[in-house]
């Protein structure tokens, strides 16, 4: 077994663990193929089980013969292990370093994990595209499910089944695919039942410097327009960035070739800039010694909140085009796998009440992120602490979750799930025992259903759902427009300050809120049952 070679010292006694807001624990440290375990071997004391995959970086220091390892996790937690003995410490550090940076997907924990719970509903089958399409079919016959990509030959990052306008045949799709970045031809992302308007997404058109055009592409997207109506193309890049893309063969839809479409450019940054932003933000949050001025200026310099505002604004714009202007929308950036998905998925949160339920949100993540080919494996390989040079890492999905959290804050009664659910998705996107976020596309995920357990299988059980349900939820069928004023957008404390400040008082407030609502329900039941009983008494005394 390959793991055994990497584990030089499998066990060390007398290790002291320091964690934020928890008492220190002294116990035995064990390394397994996938976990770092610290146990005090007492029944009452909590154990630490840390997935190697969750470790972003480690630092080692020596104080005399005492070794100290600082473990920085992808969920932004920092823990410290005091290990007696220099050699043990070095061994542990190098083993952890090796185990946490394994490249091979097949060695990942999800392939070894066996569920200890009863699977009520297999998450791998919960959100199949054909099921989602059935729902659409019952409302409109303007769309069809195409199998053109069934062997992933037309677009490697698309799923086998995609929804396209009914009158566009597969041959046309193949031609359009050659004109769009990564073969990502325009596909249906969302159908607005209220007025039949649609949102599509794609990769950038490959117009290049000489203004190449593709009649089929024009035909495809024009097929989604009602007679005499104009649509909107939302390019998530600034006009300058889009212009520059031409030199590399990319580009944007010109007015001349797409006269029925109005193009709007927004300014969502590219992924490498977002990663830098995350690193700066986390650094600012972790330095407790800052003065107020320094904190505010570092927060500003991280630009994290600026990105949040830009993404939410763009999503609001897309939603407004559809709901207010009654126009169809095509969204793309460069590849169509990052900012595009942020915009299309957030617009659906705004427009579609189903996406604000627990199941609906899972479906949204499945449709607009996993099936749509967001490269999770690449984007979430490293988090804010990694020392190695970032390659394709970017907190694109975290940005999306943050925007959902902002909306949840503004509409606290309109979401069926609570903040804990969003935090859970953040954690599992970066490190998980489940296979859901493995791989970069549907193609890479083909075999996972047999070999791993789906996160949704675990989440969709009563005991988990209860923890993730928002007690304030009351179905709200309306469109919800979040405010994007700087005053309305807050730092997501539940993620960024989670390990820096005690959340005891806030947790107590949450519990109190749950208690108030539960007590009300309980009383309601009591009153109703008493009323029934009185009614029965009445019958009993009749003679």
Partner 1 sequence: MEHIRLPKVENVRLLDKVSPGRSRVGILYLTATHSIFVESDTGLRSETWVLHSLVCSVEKQTTTSSGCPLLVRCKNFQVLLFSIPREPDCHDVYLSLQRLSHPDAKTTVLYCFSYKPNIVEEERRQDWAFMDLKANYSRMGLPNSLWKLSSINQHYKVSSSYPADLFVPESATPPVVVGSSKFRSRGRFPALSYYSKENHAAICRSSQPLSGFSARCMEDEQMLEAILRSNPRSDFMYVVDTRPKLNAIANRAAGKGYEIEDNYSNIKFQFMGIENIHVMRNSQQKVLELCELRSPSMSDFLEGLESSGWLKHIKAILDAGIFISKAIAEEGVSVLVHCSDGWDRTAQVCSVACVLLDQFYRTLKGLMVLIEKDWVSFGHKFSHRCDHLAGDPKEVSPIIDQFLECVWQLMEQFPCAFEFNERFLITIHSHIYSCQFGNFIGNSQRERRELRVGERTHSLWRYLWTNCADFINPLYRPDHSQTQGLLRPSTAPYCFKFWKGLYNRFDRGMHPRQSVEDYLRAIQEETQQLEEQLASHKQVQLLLVIILQIVSHEDKKLFSGSVRGFLIFINRRSASWRRNRVGVFPGRLPPLKRALMCGLWVATLLGSTLLRTTSEVSSAAAARAHPKLQTTARSSSLRTPNKQPTPSAPMAATRSPASQT
Within 157-216, the residues that bind partner 1 by CB under 8 A are: none
Pick between residue 317 and residue 396 the one whose CB is nearest to partner 1.
317
The nearer residue to partner 1, 205 or 482, going by C-beta atoms, is 482
- Cβ density class 82-120: b for 16+ within 10 Å, e for less: bbebeebbbbbbebbeebbbbeeeeebbbbebeeeeeee
Residue 60 Cβ, how far from partner 1 at the closest point, in Å? 28
Sequence length of the chain is: 543
Decide whether 243 or 306 has the Cβ nearer to partner 1: 306
* Residue number with CB closer to partner 1 (22 or 296): 296
Q: What is the contact mask toward partner 1 in residues 307 to 346, using x (rule: CB under 8 A)?
A: -xx--xx--xx--x---x----------------------
- Kindly give the residue spans of alpha helices, DSSP state H, lying in 303-355: 304-323, 339-351
Compose the 392-421 pattern: x for residues touching partner 1 by CB under 8 A, - for all others. -----------------xxxxxx-------
In the complex, the smallest distance separating the C-beta of residue 253 from partner 1, rounded to whole angstroms, is: 20
* Segment 457 to 516, residues that bind partner 1, using CB under 8 A: 472, 474-476, 478-491, 493, 497, 500-502, 505-506, 508-509, 512-513, 516
Residue closer to partner 1, measured from CB, 132 or 264: 264
Q: Are 470 and 415 in contact (CB under 8 A)?
A: yes
Interatomic CA distance for residues 29 and 98, integer angstroms: 17
Least Cβ distance, residue 172 to partner 1 (angstroms): 33
Of residues 465 and 490, the one with the C-beta less far from partner 1: 490
Question: How many angstroms separate the CA atoms of 221 and 179, rounded?
Answer: 13
The owner of tokens 């008082």 is 505
Q: How far is the CB of 313 from partner 1 (least distance, A)?
A: 6
Phi, psi of 494 (to 5 degrees): -60, -20
Q: How far is the CB of 489 from partner 1 (least distance, A)?
A: 7
The smaller minimum CB distance to partner 1, of residues 216 and 416, is found at: 416
Q: How far is CA 169 from CA 173, 174, 215, 386, 483, in A?
A: 7, 9, 14, 47, 41
80 touching partner 1, by CB under 8 A: no
DSSP string, 129-174: HHHHHHHHHTT-SSEEEE-TTTTSSS-TTS-S-EEEETT--HHHHH
Say if CB 232 and CB 204 are below 8 A apart: no
| Helix (DSSP H) and strand (DSSP E) numbers for the chain | 19, 14
Which positions from 518 through 537 interact with partner 1, judged by CB under 8 A? 519-520, 523-524, 526-528, 530-531, 533-534, 537
**The one among 157, 236, 303, 432 contacting partner 1 by CB under 8 A:** 303
Nearest distance, CB of residue 357 and partner 1, angstroms: 14
Quick note: the x/- pattern for partner 1 over 343-362, rule CB under 8 A, is: --------------------
Q: Considering the complex, what minimum distance in angstroms separates the CB of residue 300 from partner 1?
A: 4
CA 49 – CA 431 distance, rounded (Å): 13
CB nearer to partner 1: pick between 219 and 290? 290
> Strands 329-332 and 197-201: what pairing?
parallel
Task: Considering the complex, state which of residue 90 and residue 514 has its C-beta at the smaller distance from partner 1.
Answer: 514
Restricted to residues 268-297, the positions that interact with partner 1 (CB under 8 A) are 285, 288, 290-297
- Strands, DSSP E only, in 255-410? 261-265, 329-332
């Amino acid at each position: 077994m390959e793991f055994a070679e990497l584990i030089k010292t499998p066990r060390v006694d007398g290790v002291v663990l320091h964690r934020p807001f928890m008492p220190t624990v002294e116990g035995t440290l064990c390394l397994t193929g996938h976990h770092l375990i610290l146990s005090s071997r007492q029944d009452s004391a909590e154990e630490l089980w840390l997935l190697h995959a969750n470790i972003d970086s480690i630092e080692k220091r020596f104080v005399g013969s005492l070794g100290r390892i600082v473990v920085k996790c992808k969920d932004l937690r920092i823990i410290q292990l005091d290990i007696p003995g220099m050699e043990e410490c070095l061994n542990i550090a190098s083993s952890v370093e090796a185990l946490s940076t394994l490249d091979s997907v097949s060695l990942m924990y999800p392939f070894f994990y066996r569920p200890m719970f009863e699977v009520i509903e297999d998450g791998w089958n919960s959100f199949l595209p054909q099921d989602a399409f059935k729902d659409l079919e019952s409302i409109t016959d303007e769309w069809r499910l195409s199998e053109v990509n069934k062997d992933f030959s037309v677009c490697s990052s698309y799923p086998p089944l995609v929804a396209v306008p009914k009158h566009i045949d597969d041959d046309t799709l193949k031609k359009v695919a050659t004109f769009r970045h990564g073969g990502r031809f325009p596909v249906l992302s969302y159908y607005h039942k209220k007025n039949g308007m649609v949102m599509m997404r794609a990769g950038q058109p490959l117009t290049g410097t000489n203004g190449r055009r593709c009649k089929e592409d024009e035909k495809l997207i024009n097929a989604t327009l009602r007679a005499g109506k104009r649509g909107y193309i939302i390019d998530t890049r600034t006009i300058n960035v889009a212009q520059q893309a031409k030199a590399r063969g990319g580009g944007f839809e010109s007015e001349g070739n797409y006269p029925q479409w109005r193009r709007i450019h927004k300014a969502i940054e590219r992924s490498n800039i977002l990663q830098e932003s995350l690193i700066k933000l986390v650094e600012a949050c972790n330095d407790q010694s800052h003065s107020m001025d320094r904190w505010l200026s570092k927060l500003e310099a991280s630009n994290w909140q600026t990105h949040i505002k830009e993404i939410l604004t763009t999503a609001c714009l897309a939603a407004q085009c559809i709901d207010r202007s009654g126009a169809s929308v095509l969204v793309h950036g460069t590849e169509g796998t990052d900012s595009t998905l942020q915009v299309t998925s957030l617009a659906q949160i705004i427009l579609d009440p189903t996406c604000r339920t627990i199941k609906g949100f899972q479906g949204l993540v499945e449709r607009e992120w996993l099936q749509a080919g967001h490269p999770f494996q690449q984007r979430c390989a490293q988090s804010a602490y990694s020392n190695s040079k970032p390659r394709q890492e970017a907190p694109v999905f975290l940005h999306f979750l943050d925007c959902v959290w902002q909306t949840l804050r503004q509409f606290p009664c309109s979401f069926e799930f609570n903040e804990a659910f969003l935090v859970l998705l953040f954690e599992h996107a970066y490190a998980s025992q489940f296979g859901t976020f493995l791989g970069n596309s549907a193609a890479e995920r083909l075999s996972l259903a047999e070999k791993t357990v789906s996160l949704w299988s675990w989440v969709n059980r009563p005991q988990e759902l209860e923890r993730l349900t928002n007690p304030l939820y009351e179905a709200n069928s309306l469109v919800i427009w979040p405010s994007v004023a700087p005053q309305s957008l807050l730092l997501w404390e539940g993620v960024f300050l989670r390990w820096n400040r005690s959340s005891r008082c806030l947790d107590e407030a949450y519990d109190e809120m749950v208690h108030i609502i539960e007590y009300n329900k309980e009383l309601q039941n009591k009153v109703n049952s008493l009323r029934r009983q009185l009614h029965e008494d009445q019958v009993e005394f009749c003679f």
